[in-house]
Each structure stands twice: as structure tokens, then as C-alpha cells.
Amino acid sequence: MADPQPIPVNARFGNDFVTQLVVVLDTDTMKEVAEKVAYHVVGRRVPPRNLPMEVRYNGRVIGVNKTVAEAGIAPLKSVYVDYVRVQ
């Protein structure tokens, strides 16, 4: 099995006004990607909420257990992370 490869992505969280370069691994799940992006934003510019998070890539929500590689997220592409909207 190959070593995990770093993938830098442009990430934005919720209604934050800042886009950040966040390094994820190709083996990270979307849950881990969401946590890595949230680390730089939640509690700083966006208030914490007791809700799960989701990752959107190319306009669609990616399942929490899919990896970066499985989702086809390429270096320097944009991902959007936010809390799951409660209906």
C-alpha cells in the first residue's frame, strides 16, 4: 500500500469570508477533511455548533466515508465545508 499523499485544497467553511489553503491526505475521509477545514475557522470566525459537517465538491455533497481519492479531489481544487442543514 502506498503512503498517503498530501493534497492541498482551497477550502471555505460556511459563511466565512476567507478561503484557505488546507492540506489533506488522499486517504482522509470527508469527515476528516471537514474537521481539518473547521479547525482553522470554527471558534474563530464561525461559531461552533453541535451539528455534523458535510463537504461539497463540484456542487455535490460527498459521503462522509468517501476518501479524497475516491471523491476525485485534485490538488488546488475548491471544497466547501458547512454544518449539515437541519430540515
**Number of domains into which the chain is organized:** 1
Task: Tell me the whole-structure pTM to 2 decimals.
Answer: 0.93
Kindly state whether residue 51 falls inside one of the protein's structural domains: yes
CATH classification at residue 57: 3.10.20.270
Kindly state whether residue 16 falls inside one of the protein's structural domains: yes
Kindly state whether residue 1 falls inside one of the protein's structural domains: no
What is the extent of the structural domain holding 76?
A: 6-83
Question: Please, which pLDDT band fits residue 87 given cuts at 50, 70 and 90?
Answer: low
What are the tens digits of pLDDT across the range 37-61?
999 999 999 999 999 999 999 999 9
Which strands form 20-25's sheet, in the order they lie side by side? 20-25, 6-13, 78-83, 53-57, 60-62
Question: DSSP per residue over the chain, as a string?
Answer: -PPP-EEEEEEEETT-S--EEEEEETT-BHHHHHHHHHHTTBTTTB---SS-EEEEETTEEEPTT-BHHHHTPPTT-EEEEEEPPP-
The length of the chain, given as a count of residues: 87
